[in-house]
Amino acid sequence: MRKELIKLLSKEFKLKLKQPKNYFEQNSSSGDLEYLAQTLSHLATDLIKIGNDLRFMASGPLAGVHEIDLPSVQPGSSIMPGKINPSMVEALTMVSAQVIGNSQTVHELTTLAQLELQQFIP
């Protein structure tokens, strides 16, 4: 039954899925999931840094760096003429923060496993 399921999922998702060599090891460890979550967290950290750089370089126009112009996707400030809100940069930062939080959650839940039971990671 497992072989048929693996074939079906491989075909459906166009992935090379295979049976684990040791089912007990596979059940007792979620290291692969944690590795993926940490990798995404590192990427999100880099994206936040890039977003902060873009926000700083676009600061201005009268009192700031104003090295680049970010596209205006919503109205700016009524008290600061010419100001462009860095909406897309803010969205990138918020999504990246969520990814980092999810990664931390996966890490914490992975540490709560006991023997072959990963009760917090279905």
Residue 122's pLDDT band (cuts 50, 70, 90): low
**Which pLDDT value is given to residue 119?**
83
- What does the buried/exposed string (b/e) look like for 41-73 if buried means 16 or more CB atoms within 10 Å of the residue's CB? beebeebbeebeebbeebbeeeeeeeeeeeeee
Cα angle 112, 26, 114 (rounded to 5 degrees) comes to: 25
Q: Inform me whether the pLDDT recorded for 2 exceeds 90.
A: no
Q: Inform me whether the pLDDT recorded for 121 exceeds 80.
A: no
Average pLDDT over residues 30-38: 90
The C-alpha atoms of residue 34 and residue 108 are separated, in whole angstroms, by 10
